[in-house]
Structures are given as structure tokens and as C-alpha cells.
């Protein structure tokens, strides 16, 4: 493997730096072995639209609960789904589902 010998010059301003990187490859100045995976915890997750068929009485109940909480029913449905997913993960990771031969459906 080739050693990285090039040193990044000192720049007077951002324009000079931008011009430099427009004509040079960062791979010539940084070793990819030292790269670390980035983490961006404050990014909002992207949303995907789905269609789901619900019994009418369940939808009416969801809308009633959402109205009492003064939130849109879709937001309340996402909240309920997120809570249940957390509970299911905890249940499955505890191992109790496997030991008892039960898996939540």
C-alpha cells in the first residue's frame, strides 16, 4: 500500500481552499484506513407514505382518541406503532419469547 506523503497546504481563506479541493482528490491526502463511520443523531428520519386498510370501527376509535388529545390521527397512529415496536423489541430481546416457545404476532 502506498504511503500518503502529501501535506495539505495552509489556506488564506475558504475560497482558496474550495479552489484547491476542486482540482485535487482528498484520497491523495487522507488514508482511508483511518476513516470512521459518521453519525448524525439530529437528522430527522425520512418518511415513506404507505397505505393500510383498517376496520372502520378501529379508524373511528383512533380518530376519537386523536381528537381528545388534539393531534392528527395519523400522528397518533405513528406514536402507537412506535411504542408497540419498542415493546416488541424489548420482549424479543429479553429471550422470554424464545424460552416459552412464544413469539408475538
Least confident among 35-49, 51-65, 80-94: 35-49
pLDDT computed for residue 27 by the predictor:
81
Eight-state DSSP code of residue 105: -
- The answer to whether residue 102 scores a pLDDT higher than 60 is no
- Among 24-28, 75-79, 97-101, the least confident range: 97-101
Q: Are 82 and 76 in contact (CB under 8 A)?
A: no
Evaluate whether residue 105 is within a structural domain: no
Is 87 inside a domain boundary? Answer: yes
The verdict on 60 and 31 lying in the same domain is no
How many residues are listed for the chain in this entry?
105
Report residue 38 as a C-alpha cell: 459518521
Question: Residue 67: which domain range?
Answer: 56-99
Residue 37's pLDDT is 84
Residues 6+ apart with CB under 8 A from 69: 76
pLDDT of amino acid 32: 76
pLDDT surpasses 90 at 53: yes
Tally of domains within the chain: 2
Amino acid at each position: 500500500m502506498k504511503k500518503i506523503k502529501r501535506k495539505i497546504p495552509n489556506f488564506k481563506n475558504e475560497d482558496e481552499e474550495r479552489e484547491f479541493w476542486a482540482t485535487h482528490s482528498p484520497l491523495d491526502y487522507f488514508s482511508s484506513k483511518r476513516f470512521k463511520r459518521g453519525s448524525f443523531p439530529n437528522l430527522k428520519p425520512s418518511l415513506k407514505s404507505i397505505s393500510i386498510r383498517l376496520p372502520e370501527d378501529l379508524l373511528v376509535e383512533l380518530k376519537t382518541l386523536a381528537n381528545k388529545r388534539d393531534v392528527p390521527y395519523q400522528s397518533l397512529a405513528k406514536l402507537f406503532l412506535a411504542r408497540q415496536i419498542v415493546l416488541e423489541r424489548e420482549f424479543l430481546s429479553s429471550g422470554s419469547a424464545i424460552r416459552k416457545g412464544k413469539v408475538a404476532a
